[in-house]
Amino acid sequence: MHDNPAELLRAMFDVAVATADPAVCVPPHLPRAPRGRAVVLGAGKAAASMAKAVEDNWTAPVEGLVVTRYGHGMPTERIEVVEAAHPVPDSAGLAASRRMLEIARGLGENDLALVLVSGGGSALLTLPAEGISLADKQAVSRALLQCGAPIGEMNTVRKHLSAIKGGRLAAAAAPAQVLTLAISDVPGDDPAVIASGPTVADPTSFADARAILEKYDIEPPASVSRFLAGAAEETPKPGDPRLGRAMFKLVAAPGKVLSVAAEAAWAADYEVEILGDDLEGEARALGAEHAALARSRNRAVVLLSGGETTVTVAGNGRGGRNVEYLLGMALALDGAPGIHAIACDTDGIDGTEDNAGAMIGPDTLARAAGLGLDAAAMLADNDAYSFFDTLGDLVTTGPTLTNVNDFRAILIDPS
For residue range 3-22, list pLDDT tens digits in order. 899 999 999 999 999 999 99
Instruction: Assess whether the previous peptide bond of 203 is cis (omega < 30° from 0).
Output: no
Q: Which CATH class is domain 31-252?
A: alpha beta
Rounded percentage of the chain residues whose pLDDT exceeds 70: 100
pLDDT at 220: 95
**Distance of alpha carbon 32 from the chain centroid:** 29
Across 164-168, 309-313, 324-328, 355-359, least confident range: 309-313
Distance separating alpha carbons of residues 331 and 294, to the nearest angstrom: 13
| Cα distance between residue 302 and residue 294, in whole Å | 9
CATH H superfamily, domain 5-16+255-412? MOFRL domain (3.40.1480.10)
The C-alpha atoms of residue 24 and residue 21 are separated, in whole angstroms, by 5
Name beta bridge partners: 345: 406
Mean predicted confidence (pLDDT) in 307-326: 94
The yes-or-no verdict on residue 2 having pLDDT over 80 is: no
Task: Write down the pLDDT at residue 352.
Answer: 82
Instruction: Name residues whose C-beta falls within 8 Å of residue 82's C-beta, 6 or more positions apart in sequence.
Output: 65, 66, 67, 68, 92, 93, 95, 96
**Sorting pLDDT into bands at 50, 70 and 90, what band is 1?**
low
Q: What is the per-residue pLDDT for 88?
A: 86
Edge-first strand order for the sheet with 177-183 is: 79-84, 62-69, 38-43, 112-117, 177-183, 246-252
| pLDDT tens string 103-122 | 999 999 999 999 999 999 99
The CA-atom distances, in angstroms, between 92 and each of 52, 249, 342, 345, 387 are: 21, 28, 34, 25, 34
Of residues 231 and 58, more confidently modeled: 58
Instruction: Report if pTM > 0.85.
Output: yes
Query: Among 133, 12, 103, which Cα is nearest to 4's?
Result: 12
DSSP readout, 310-339?
A: B----SS----HHHHHHHHHHHHHTT-TTE
Domain ranges of the chain: 5-16+255-412, 31-252
Quick one: CA torsion of 236, 241, 243, 247, rounded to 10 degrees? 140
Convert the pLDDT of each residue in 360-403 to its tens digit.
999 999 999 999 999 999 999 999 999 999 999 999 999 999 99
Reduced to 3 states, what is the DSSP secondary structure of residue 345?
A: strand
